[in-house]
A and B are shown apart, each in its own frame.
Chain A
Amino acid sequence: MAQIICRDLSFAYDGETVLSDINFSLDAGSYLCIVGENGSGKSTLMRGLLGLKTPSTGTITFNDLKPTEIGYLPQQTQIQRDFPASVREVVLSGRLNSMHGRLFYNAADKAAAAENMERLGIDDIADRCYLELSGGQQQRVLLARAMCATKKLLLLDEPVTGLDPVAANEMYNLIKLVNLCDNTSVIMISHDIHAAVRYATHILHLGHSQLFFGTTAQYRESDLARRFVGGERA
């Protein structure tokens, strides 16, 4: 059975529909890239999946996945720039959803944080201040936090924005590694269509409604992809 099923979804702000007719389902372990122009409803759909925005019609069904088992990597702009916090504190805060009413972090929480920091190669900067890190390091910290929150589904909102090409590639490879090794599903909003077709198993192309949903191979053959990528074959 599919892990996520969206049926006839639509979203509206102040009564004005911004996104409609979303129908897709995803199996566990898939890697979905949501693409589309600015304002096409990508972030709205993600807010819907996160439970931060209620759909005006339609349903989202999760199978074997509780709403608290979702890891999320927000856009950089949402994080405060002058916040004093160590890398360890930020990563550890990803464990909150598995505390179930417990008040403090226990040894298992700390071990999970340490493991994820090691996997992403940030264990050596665990006690550094989050603010003083490079953009690439900061994104790894947020990815580690998201991984602390889930083994099942990662939602990533433009995870490479503002990174230099080397750091962006590293980030993509880390995300693919988590996707393959842990069978964690990934849903990513991306502006980088070339990376999207390189890494993703599925593509969802939005433009106020669902313009395309299918496997990456199908997407490459579609007229939409040819237009969106700008003439060259992706």
Chain B
Amino acid sequence: MIELIKEMFSYHFMVRAVVVGALVSLCAALLGVSLVLKRYSMIGDGLSHVGFGALAIAAAVNIAPLYLAVPVVIAAAFLLLRINQNSKIKGDAAIALISSSALAIGVVTVSLTTGMNTDVSNYMFGSILSLSHADAVLSIVLSAVVLLMFVLLYPRIFAVTFDETFARATGTKAQLINSVIAVLTAVTVVIGMRMMGALLISSLIIFPALTAMRVCRSFKGVVICSAVISVVCFVIGMAASYAFELPSGAAIVIVNIIAFAAFSFAALLKKRA
């Protein structure tokens, strides 16, 4: 095992992928706790499809993918949030609507221009090799911003997640905090989907939070536990992907499934005891 990890880290691109991936996993896990509890679990999925559409268009017109995808996905996050507050279209329907539309636009763009090639497959299912040096630097900076914002706003994020009405009634700017959460989620989804793939990135947001909630009984406990689970699962998934030549995104999700099952089992045993 140690030999394997040593060998893995002897490749420069692997080091880069693991650093970026660990940071993204951390961001996704922290935001995920709030999103899952606010019933926004599917927002990651919706945004990743929008991200795919944006990346496809960026590739077609030859702009650096992240520079187009980040603003477009942030705009989509705001849109989803606004529609969610409008009671006429319910949140889940709105997400399904936007995500399938974006996916369709992306697919059409791809087939009109480059055709279905490995690039497209990388966006769909993720690839550690698709990460350029410039992408890596940008990803690290963005993840650092997301982490910092989360830590600084922690008490407010708790208040808005637990009881938004109370938070608003006592003067917390709940709308602003919700918008910040949406922007941070959008950024995390875009930088994460290069590695995880558009189809799998939402699992990075949902799984660690749900796994942590099996055993932890306080918000802080869930947040910390979820962060640790996410990073550990990512590293194990990466190692498995390297050792067995599996797509990295899928391998990481499988490890997360195993962790979820293990924690659920532990919670069951604890209840019996």
B37 within 8 Å of A (CB atoms): yes
Neighbouring B residues of A152 by C-beta, 8 Å: none
Cβ–Cβ contact B170 & A71, under 8 A: yes
Cβ–Cβ contact A93 & B37, under 8 A: no
Q: How large is the interface on B (under 10, 10 to 19, 20 to 34, 35 or more residues)?
A: 20 to 34
Determine the residue in chain B with the shortest Cβ distance to A148: B170
Encode contact with A along B146-175: 1 for CB under 8 Å, 0 otherwise: 000000111110110111011111111000
Encode contact with B along A183-206: 1 for CB under 8 Å, 0 otherwise: 000000000000000000000000
Contact for A50 among B152, B169, B222, CB less than 8 A: B169
Smallest CB separation, B123 vs chain A (Å): 34
- A89-B37 in contact given A79-B163, A104-B155 (Cβ < 8 Å): no
Cβ–Cβ contact A93 & B171, under 8 A: no
Cβ–Cβ contact A89 & B170, under 8 A: no
Smallest CB separation, B124 vs chain A (Å): 33
Smallest CB separation, A134 vs chain B (Å): 16
Cβ–Cβ contact B162 & A103, under 8 A: no
Smallest CB separation, A146 vs chain B (Å): 8
Cβ–Cβ contact B155 & A93, under 8 A: yes
A70 within 8 Å of B (CB atoms): yes
B216 within 8 Å of A (CB atoms): yes
Neighbouring B residues of A94 by C-beta, 8 Å: 170
Cβ–Cβ contact A145 & B155, under 8 A: no
Contact for A78 among B152, B153, B155, B163, CB less than 8 A: B163
Determine the residue in chain A with the shortest Cβ distance to B220: A89
B6 within 8 Å of A (CB atoms): no
Contact for B218 among A51, A52, A84, CB less than 8 A: A84
Smallest CB separation, A47 vs chain B (Å): 8
Determine the residue in chain A with the shortest Cβ distance to B213: A84
Cβ–Cβ contact B162 & A90, under 8 A: yes
Cβ–Cβ contact A149 & B170, under 8 A: yes
Determine the residue in chain B with the shortest Cβ distance to A145: B166
A84 to B214, CA, bound (A): 10
Smallest CB separation, B222 vs chain A (Å): 5
Neighbouring A residues of B167 by C-beta, 8 Å: 93, 96
Neighbouring A residues of B220 by C-beta, 8 Å: 86, 89
Cβ–Cβ contact B165 & A74, under 8 A: yes
Neighbouring A residues of B159 by C-beta, 8 Å: 93, 96
Smallest CB separation, A159 vs chain B (Å): 13
A129 within 8 Å of B (CB atoms): yes
A180 to B170, CA, bound (A): 22
Q: Considering the complex, which residues of chain B in the window 213-240 have a beta carbon less than 8 Å from any beta carbon of chain A?
A: 213, 216-222
Cβ–Cβ contact B222 & A84, under 8 A: yes
Smallest CB separation, B16 vs chain A (Å): 32
Q: Considering the complex, which residues of chain A in the window 212-231 have a beta carbon less than 8 Å from any beta carbon of chain B?
A: none
Cβ–Cβ contact B162 & A132, under 8 A: no
Q: Considering the complex, which residues of chain A in the window 67-95 have a beta carbon less than 8 Å from any beta carbon of chain B?
A: 67-68, 70-72, 74, 78-80, 82-86, 89-90, 92-94
Neighbouring A residues of B168 by C-beta, 8 Å: 50, 52
Determine the residue in chain A with the shortest Cβ distance to B156: A96
Cβ–Cβ contact A74 & B218, under 8 A: no
A68-B171, A84-B216 given; 4 more Cβ-contact pairs under 8 Å: A52-B165, A78-B165, A84-B219, A93-B162
* 10 nearest A-B residue pairs (beta carbon): A68-B171, A129-B217, A86-B218, A50-B169, A97-B170, A72-B169, A97-B171, A93-B159, A85-B219, A149-B170
Q: Which residues of A contact B (CB under 8 A)?
A: 50-52, 67-68, 70-72, 74, 78-80, 82-86, 89-90, 92-94, 96-97, 99, 103-105, 127-129, 131-132, 145, 149, 155
17 contacts between A and B (CB under 8 A): A67-B171, A68-B170, A72-B165, A72-B169, A80-B162, A84-B219, A84-B222, A89-B218, A90-B162, A93-B158, A93-B159, A94-B170, A96-B167, A99-B155, A105-B155, A145-B166, A155-B169
